[in-house]
């Protein structure tokens, strides 16, 4: 059975004066343990699709199933990480991480140890009693990732999580996140505009085109690249070849309507 299945997803936003078709007939599958990217220019419906998968938006038409269940019934199986960390500034790092666990009743001593170990894996030592303002942007994003991982979601959705960071921090975080996902065998969807990031981190890339948002093409990343860290992958000749193919494909995309 496919882990995540999307069939015939359409979504139209209705405003007082107009209707915007954000997504048109999207069907795709994601397998358990896969890391996929939704790549495409601004406005091609990536965030809308992620919100539909998270059960935050009901699509105008079509079906989304996670392990055969409707996403509403599987809402506690999904985790979201966004461009902004949304840490509460008045709570310490550990209070921020523990909050979701307290709410869903899973915060025990072993969970606390697990969180500390996750923080160490993310190169965050001795930060638990600090406040978010005492950490850099890259550190706060890592805390946000630990907070998401701690709830043990089966599916993680990452909406441009590195786009507000400086380039060096972004590359470091790509490596850390990729390692962590490989270790945990997590299924993840990354939304990004960045072709290089999508190639370096994914098993497959779903390339979307805009107006209205459509699934334009799917690229499977060659195994040689998938076995490398994102940093190593960026230095492989196959990376350059794939980058050029995707770039050409993006350049050829003609909007249909709107």
Ligand X SMILES: Nc1ncnc2c1ncn2[C@@H]1O[C@H](COP(=O)(O)OP(=O)(O)OP(=O)(O)O)[C@@H](O)[C@H]1O
Distance of alpha carbon 126 from alpha carbon 206, whole angstroms: 39
Residue 141, number of CB atoms within 10 A of its CB:
27
- The rounded distance, in Å, linking the Cα atoms of 140 and 241 is 34
20 binds ligand X (CB under 6 A): yes
Pairing of strands 78-81, 155-159: parallel
- Minimum Å distance from CB 129 to ligand X? 35
Near ligand X by CB under 6 A: residue from 24, 37, 46, 122:
46
Size of the site for ligand X (CB under 6 A): 14
Options 26-34, 36-44, 175-183, 243-251: segment touching ligand X (CB under 6 A): 36-44
| CB of 12 vs ligand X, minimal distance in Å | 9
* Contact flag: residue 45 with ligand X (CB under 6 A): yes
Q: Are 32 and 2 in contact (CB under 8 A)?
A: no
3-state secondary structure of 3: coil
Is residue 48 at the binding interface for ligand X, with CB under 6 A as the rule? yes
Among 4, 6, 22, 64, binds ligand X (CB under 6 A): 22
Options 24, 37, 47, 151; binder of ligand X; rule CB under 6 A: 47
Strand order in the sheet with 4-14: 19-30, 4-14, 61-66, 69-70
Residues 190-209 contacting ligand X, CB under 6 A: 193
Torsion region of 137: left, alpha or beta (phi above 0 gives left; psi -120 to 50 gives alpha): alpha
Q: Does 13 bind ligand X (CB under 6 A)?
A: yes
Instruction: Decide whether 56 or 103 has the Cβ nearer to ligand X.
Output: 56
Which positions touch ligand X (CB under 6 A)?
13, 15, 20, 22, 40, 42-48, 193, 213
């Amino acid at each position: 059975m496919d882990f995540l299945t999307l069939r015939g997803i359409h979504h139209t936003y209705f405003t007082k004066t107009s209707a915007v078709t954000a997504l048109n007939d999207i069907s795709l599958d994601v397998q358990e343990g896969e890391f996929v990217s939704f790549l495409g220019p601004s406005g091609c419906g990536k965030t809308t699709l992620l919100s539909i998968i998270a059960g935050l938006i009901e699509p105008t038409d079509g079906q989304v199933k996670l392990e055969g269940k409707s996403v509403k019934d599987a809402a506690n199986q999904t985790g979201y990480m966004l461009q902004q960390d949304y840490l509460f500034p008045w709570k310490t790092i550990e209070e921020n991480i523990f909050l979701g666990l307290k709410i869903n009743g899973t915060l025990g001593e072993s969970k606390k140890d697990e969180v500390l170990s996750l923080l160490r894996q993310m190169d965050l030592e001795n930060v638990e009693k600090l406040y978010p303002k005492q950490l850099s942007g890259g550190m706060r994003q890592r805390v946000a990732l630990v907070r998401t991982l701690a709830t043990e979601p089966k599916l993680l959705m990452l909406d441009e999580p590195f786009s507000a960071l400086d380039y060096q921090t972004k590359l470091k975080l790509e490596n850390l996140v990729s390692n962590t996902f490989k270790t945990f065998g997590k299924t993840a969807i990354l939304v990004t505009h960045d072709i290089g990031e999508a190639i370096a981190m994914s098993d497959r890339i779903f390339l979307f085109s805009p107006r209205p948002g459509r699934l334009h093409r799917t690229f499977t990343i060659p195994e040689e690249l998938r076995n490398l860290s994102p940093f190593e992958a960026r230095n492989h000749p196959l990376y350059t070849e794939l980058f050029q193919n995707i770039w050409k494909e993006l350049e050829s995309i003609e909007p249909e309507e709107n």
